[in-house]
Structure 1
Amino acid sequence: MDIKRVKEIMSSSENIEVLYNRHSVWLDGVDDKTGRVKIRILDMRENVYVPVDDLVDTRKIINIDR
């Protein structure tokens, strides 16, 4: 994925599924300078910063409990 797509997903009114290491994540923020994204791994409720390239956009609309 790229920074532009991360920002599109974050500003979308729909919940678009994004994966990190096969886990669904919530996008909490992006750092343009470092190319890192703050995510929340939904099934672990853990916040981490990861490289934008490690994220996968499934393009699926999902219902999630944030």
Structure 2
Amino acid sequence: MNFHRAEEILQAKETIEVFYDDQSVWINSLDSQTGTAEVTDMDNHRLKVPVDELTEGKVIS
């Protein structure tokens, strides 16, 4: 995923699926200087990951 799209998803009113390493995650914040995202996985673990390793799923709501 590119950084601009990650920003759009973070600011979107609807819920959009995002995956990291084939696991569903929630984007908490983005860091444009490092190109990373802080995400939370389904086990409630917070991770700092490269934005370009995130993939977009479907719109949920």
With structure 1 as the length reference, what TM-score do the two structures score? 0.87
Specify every segment of 5 or more residues in structure 2 that has no aligned partner in the other structure, as ranges.
none
Specify every segment of 5 or more residues in structure 1 that has no aligned partner in the other structure, as ranges.
none
Equivalence for 1:4: 4
Residues 4-23 of structure 1: pairs in structure 2 closer than 5 A: 4-23=4-23
1:49 aligns with 2:48: yes
1:27 aligns with 2:24: no
* Corresponding residue SS for 1:10: helix
Please report how far the alpha carbon of residue 5 of structure 1 lies from its aligned counterpart in structure 2 after TM superposition: 0.4
Aligned residues: 61
Please report how far the alpha carbon of residue 61 of structure 1 lies from its aligned counterpart in structure 2 after TM superposition: 1.5
* Corresponding residue SS for 1:24: strand
Distance 2:41 2:2 in 1: 19
4+ residue segments displaced more than 6 Å:
none
1:37-61 CA-to-partner distances (Å, cap 9, x unmatched) read 000012x110010001110012x12
